[in-house]
Amino acid sequence: MAVVLEQVDGFVEPRKRIQTPTPRVRYDAGHAMYLPPHSEVWGIADSTSLVRDVRMKFDRPVVETLLGEDWDRKKWNEPVLMLYDEPIRQIAELIWQECHVEPEEQPLYREHLTMALLARLFQSQRIEKKTSPSGLGRQQFKRTIEYMRSNLLRDLRLRELASVAGPLTFAIRSCIQGIYRGDATPLDHSTKDRAG
């Protein structure tokens, strides 16, 4: 997977055939592309002086473990060449920023970003329709927040929080929905929780 975070001048795009432009209506940065294993795609840059992107590789067994039954296995095998999705762009930008800090600093935050990105990209339509707007139940949410506040100085892991909240799939849904309420980013929520 790759997300173009910034481009200066010109444009960049993936193509299935080098001489056949990818259909698009926008030429700015911010698009994501996902390529299944063993896909062949051309990367084209026309008159660009700078391109900043983040590239990630995911192993299917890890995705299956993290998302459980909530992921659409068909999406794993379908290439996505030009996806303008603002939440994916925001998550990718935060992952890019995290690549430039000490790796030991925020493992839980990194896990959340990765899970949010995977869920946004691979979440099943069936699950999207079943998910309630509130994510976790009121008591599950309250219990999880209280646990996090009482353990702010500890290195909490996602699995630990999932065991406090309930099944892992519910924790993922709440993470995705909670991050993107309003205009706040995951970093805004993280900073707000630490300050409060």
pLDDT at 67: 75
pLDDT at 184: 42
pTM comes to: 0.62
Instruction: Tell me the mean pLDDT per 10 residues along the chain, length 196.
Output: 93 90 90 89 90 89 76 83 92 90 75 86 59 60 84 79 64 44 41 44
In whole angstroms, how far apart are CA 178 and each of 6, 53, 65, 102, 134? 26, 26, 22, 26, 9
pLDDT at 88: 93
pLDDT at 9: 92
pLDDT at 125: 57
